Structure 1
Amino acid sequence: MTSRDIMRSKTLPATVRHWAEQRTGHIVAVRDASHAWPRSRVWELTGSSGACWYVKISPSTKFYARETRAYRRIVPALGHGRAPQLLDSRAHDLVLLLTAAPGDPAKELGLDDATWRAVHQQAGELCARLHEAGNLDESDRVEAEASFAAAADGAENNLARAGNRLTDGEQQVIRNYAAQLRRVGPVPVGFIHGDNQPRNWLWSASASGLALLDFERTRPAARVQDLVLLTVTQWADHPDREKSFLDGYGRLLTDAERHALRCLTALDSVNCLAWGPDNGDVEVTARGRRTLDRLMRTSKP
């Protein structure tokens, strides 16, 4: 265990462990499986038979509501073995008990280019199933159709937080993209994953293939919003992966979606430059600077 692991290690509350054991039987081992940020609280549980489960304490009531709803209404559309299953939940503690899905985080496997293309193709297939799962009720549709405006609304706050990390010219480019996003025409909407990236993809070449994790950000929105993180990370230097994803997704993006995606990547860059330095996240900060530098080379303030 590294010093970073020790610093972020979290202890499973005894009351939550007792609650989980009512469903799983006696637990013989507990491992902290949280992401490396303070509000992430996830543990792997191992039973006496060797079976494994996961307990997750949501960081907020909103995330708990989103994730439990997703597991009950949306995730089953992905198919057997393509995501964990919700065994139980307890709103009082914001806790979920989940089955283990097959595979290991794709980000950690050192995959070759051909395997990455296969992973992205399957990610596209699963993303399409998720986006088309369930029917949007009236409030869902209102939320989805307002998702671009909500993203644009956040730009000014992120600019204020980022401060002098952006030049005056860069700030104007961000404002221009926020304004353009508000004017994008109709685009397909549905339920999005909300954190669609390889750290939430489990890959198993010998089992069912790809599985998705972590549905706390799943919500009604413009479907193209699920492609922002991939655009600024995986696809920036690997257009072959983008092609494989869209092959699996089953269609090309519309012109309106392409334009929206460019606007959304601009807003992601300032979010990264606001959040990353404030939280000591070098990777997120570098992502934001790299995206903004790329946009500045092709944009006029």
Structure 2
Amino acid sequence: MKETKLLPETVRHWVEQRIGPVVSVRDASHDWDRSRVWELAGQGGARWYVKVSPSSKLFTRETRAYRHVVPALGHSQAPQLIDSRAEDLAMLLTVAPGDPAPDLHLSSASWRSVHEQAGLLCARLHETGELDRGDQAEAEEDLRAAADGVEKHLGRAGDRLTGDEQQLVRDYAARLRRVEPVPVGYIHGDNQPRNWLWSGSAVALVDFERSRPAACVQDFTILAVTEWLDHPDREQAFLRTYGRGLTGAERHALRCLTALDAVNSLAWGPDNGHREVTARGRRTLDRLMKEDRP
């Protein structure tokens, strides 16, 4: 059972200076230790969210995204940042319409509609403005940085991978370092249905703490090993509104990225008691081993 997290008093005081008295607080955190999000209700039924970021790095990324990138998505298609407080790594946000898509028991047709809307928003995000020189350099080094981080994840995963599986992941990291140039832009960083709110006609994106300048294909990694693997029609719906298919270099990079996601999932999932993430990593690794080491 998830332990209820309490809203820090300093954060509550700061929030009430901006929105008035808070009538009720509901813990809306994800089920891992570092997630801290609360839904607030004020007088008259108005609602907000307050989020305390896990780190200053993620706080900086998310506040930057809300100020400079998220507005391009359009009205009501993401929360809006009302204010932030760096001392507490806290953000006060409006409530975007809809509910997390996985909670809604959607039909196949509705899921395709969700992916169509998500593809459209993802395209807007990736195409938001020109990256400055620093952002461009960061984005162009993104895949190499991902490959360079593989040993850290392998170390954390330890004996959850066999020697052959560890070598497979290292091989994919080496391939990723050699991949041809791919399109870059501003990515969401955790692009998956749990961060898509569905209102019945439109999607809103939430949770921008991992947003950054990067290779656009990074935003498709989790989808490629979950939604799209099981439902190719959803991938087609997404890419149709995204506006283009993936390049050959992106397809190659994506396969490499799924291997890196697998070892990261097998490092993070068990340590945080997250069965879904753990199962995702094991399933991907088993599939890659079967395909690459028959």
**TM-score normalised by structure 1 residue count:** 0.95
After TM superposition, give the deviation of residue 135 of structure 1 in Å. Answer: 2.1
Aligned residue runs from structure 1 range 91-110, under 5 A: 91-110=86-105
Choose the corresponding residue for 2:11, options 6, 12, 16. 16
Is residue 278 of structure 1 aligned with residue 271 of structure 2?
A: yes
After TM superposition, give the deviation of residue 298 of structure 1 in Å. Answer: 1.3
SS of corresponding position for 1:251: coil
4+ residue runs over 2 A deviation: none
Verify the 8 A CA contact 1:273 1:289 in the aligned structure 2: yes
Q: Partner residue of 1:298?
A: 291
Q: Partner residue of 1:242?
A: 235
Verify the 8 A CA contact 1:73 1:134 in the aligned structure 2: no
Aligned residue runs from structure 1 range 159-198, under 5 A: 159-198=154-193
Verify the 8 A CA contact 1:202 1:213 in the aligned structure 2: yes
After TM superposition, give the deviation of residue 164 of structure 1 in Å. Answer: 1.9
Is residue 125 of structure 1 aligned with residue 95 of structure 2?
A: no
After TM superposition, give the deviation of residue 279 of structure 1 in Å. Answer: 2.0
Structure 1 unaligned residues grouped into runs of 5+ = none
Deviations 1:189-219 (A, max 9, x none): 011000111111100015xx10000001000
Deviations 1:195-249 (A, max 9, x none): 111111100015xx10000001000000000000111111111111111110110
After TM superposition, give the deviation of residue 299 of structure 1 in Å. Answer: 0.9
After TM superposition, give the deviation of residue 13 of structure 1 in Å. Answer: 1.3
Name the stretch that deviates more: 37-46 or 14-23: 14-23
After TM superposition, give the deviation of residue 274 of structure 1 in Å. Answer: 1.4
* Paired amino acid for 1:145: E
* Paired amino acid for 1:114: A
Cα distance in 2 for residues equivalent to 1:216 and 1:280: 21
Q: Partner residue of 2:137?
A: 142
Is residue 41 of structure 1 aligned with residue 41 of structure 2?
A: no
Cα distance in 2 for residues equivalent to 1:165 and 1:15: 41
Name the stretch that deviates more: 229-238 or 271-280: 271-280
Aligned residue runs from structure 1 range 210-221, under 5 A: 210-221=203-214
Count of paired positions: 294
Cα distance in 1 for residues equivalent to 2:159 and 2:31: 27
SS of corresponding position for 1:38: coil
SS of corresponding position for 1:235: helix
Cα distance in 2 for residues equivalent to 1:94 and 1:166: 36
**TM-score normalised by structure 2 residue count:** 0.98
Q: Partner residue of 1:222?
A: 215
RMSD of aligned Cα (Å): 1.1
Q: Partner residue of 2:260?
A: 267
Choose the corresponding residue for 2:49, options 49, 54, 75. 54
Deviations 1:15-53 (A, max 9, x none): 211211122121111111111111111111111111100
Cα distance in 1 for residues equivalent to 2:155 and 2:104: 38
After TM superposition, give the deviation of residue 300 of structure 1 in Å. Answer: 4.0
Q: Partner residue of 2:244?
A: 251
SS of corresponding position for 1:214: coil
SS of corresponding position for 1:236: helix
Choose the corresponding residue for 1:90, options 75, 80, 85. 85
* Paired amino acid for 2:147: A
Cα distance in 2 for residues equivalent to 1:190 and 1:222: 6
SS of corresponding position for 1:45: strand
After TM superposition, give the deviation of residue 286 of structure 1 in Å. Answer: 0.8
Verify the 8 A CA contact 1:106 1:199 in the aligned structure 2: yes
Q: Partner residue of 1:75?
A: 70
Q: Partner residue of 1:231?
A: 224
Deviations 1:40-70 (A, max 9, x none): 1111111111110011111100011001100
